[in-house]
Amino acid sequence: MSVAARLVNRSSIAATASPHLAQAKRGAIRPYCAGLSIEIISDLESFQSLEQDWNTLLSSNRSNRLAFQSFAWMRSWLKTYLQCTENQAPTVAIVTARVRGQLRLICPFAIRNVLGLTSLTWLGEPASQYGDILTSGDDVSPDLIDATLGFAIDKLQPDTIRLRKVRSDAAIRPWLIAQNAVQSATDEAPYLDFRGAASFEAYCSKYTGKARKNRRRLRRRLEETGPVSTTVLRPGAPARDAIHIGLAFKQAWLIERGLVSSALRDPHMLDLLTNFVSHPDDHAAPFVSIMHCGQTPVSVQFGIIANQRLALYMIAYNPVTEKTGAGVLHIEDTIAYCIENGISELDFLAPNAPYKQAWADAATPVCDYVAPRTLKGRVYARGYLCTTRDVLKTQLQSLPLRIRQSIAKRIQKTI
């Protein structure tokens, strides 16, 4: 199902909290402070007015991975999906909390309505990787998070809270645990830590001699076909062209393996990514890298650099040159780029995969959480998300490859 956003006029939901906030639907909200004001924003104009405060909040929090909650990414998502007219479009619900006028918390949410069931989800679904709230850092009290989310849930009245791809170190995770939210899916996100790396050569000394020798052999063989070059592109037309090529590579790869990506099958993904890579941003910079062998593009990468961390969203290589190892060599070049440019972390994101493990220093758990709020929400969460869905996935994966390829070709949108 493709996804579209429907932004309505600014909601009248706004309140200045007294020391005793109202009773929430499930239990009492702990009091926070008299200077707390909470607002739920649903229109683009009000979102745009938050840009400076939003970026200040993003930059002040160095501990959390918030590239996909950055203003630049959210703006591209909203501008892309505002153009959509599909039915069952989610309603944007960006929750902000200010203490004595200072923005302290942003919860980028949306409300989805499917088959008569309303779910509170992350704004940016299904494209975004990692979901979290934005806080001003360690000084944000759990009581502020509790008061803000409790107020929002009381006003929005979702049947279920379904928040996907939450890291184990996410700011919202303690609140989800306190709500007895259930993990409906688990995974890991491998990453490379470049802190303390004196040079590319010094960092790569941790890999086995056999692995390094194999990559040198692959590069020599590829160079026999033509000159090999890797270019990190500035935002603009060349970056957009590279995204188009990379998505075509990735979708061909998925179909060949009989796989379906909920994000990449969205017909608006190309528009979202090309919109994002069209503009530079000081807080969440687009990263687009393309490797050529001669005049032929053999690998494309896309990611977001925020707070000196690269979230590598897409790694796609030319199916025609798969056996050349271009994808492996491109990762090696990206490691060199990160170290040379002071990037402290390269995050492969979820899902975990053997090729990512071969490069990574460690992995962070990533989970989907669901917390039902009504009877039909409990039926949906426990009857489908936590049981039936896994059975269906297992049955699909057990089908012969040819059948899965046919299904993937029908479902996966091709560029």
What's the burial of 224, exposed, middle or buried (CB within 10 Å: 0-12/13-18/19+)? Answer: exposed
Q: Band the pLDDT of 27: cuts 50, 70, 90.
A: very low
* Residue 413: predicted pLDDT: 60
Let me know: does 250 contact 317? Beta carbons within 8 Å. no
Q: How far apart are CA 173 and CA 284, in angstroms?
A: 23
Average pLDDT over residues 325-341: 97
| Mean of pLDDT over the chain | 86
| φ, ψ for residue 49, nearest 5 deg | -70, -15
Kindly report, residue by residue over 251-270, the tens digit of the pLDDT.
988 888 887 777 777 778 99
Q: How far apart are CA 159 and CA 120, in angstroms?
A: 8
* Residue 89: predicted pLDDT: 66
37 vs 398 pLDDT, higher one: 37
Kindly state the helix (H) or strand (E) to which residue 99 belongs, with its residue range: strand 91-99
**pTM, entire model:** 0.88
DSSP codes, 156-170: H--SEEEEEEEETT-
Helices (H), 141-182: 142-156, 173-178
* Residue 254: predicted pLDDT: 87
Q: How far apart are CA 415 and CA 408, in angstroms?
A: 14
Kindly report, residue by residue over 88-105, the tens digit of the pLDDT.
567 899 999 999 899 999
From residue 61, alpha-carbon distances to 69, 136, 167, 307 in Å are 12, 6, 15, 9
Kindly report, residue by residue over 164-179, the tens digit of the pLDDT.
999 999 999 999 999 9
Q: How far apart are CA 364 and CA 346, in angstroms?
A: 13
C-alpha count within 13 angstroms, C-beta hemisphere, residue 3: 28
Average pLDDT over residues 212-239: 97
State the virtual CA torsion across 83, 84, 88, 89 in degrees, nearest 10.
Answer: -30
Residue 354 makes CB contacts below 8 A (sequence gap 6+) with: none
Let me know: does 394 contact 221? Beta carbons within 8 Å. no
Helices (H), 341-400: 354-359, 375-380, 389-397
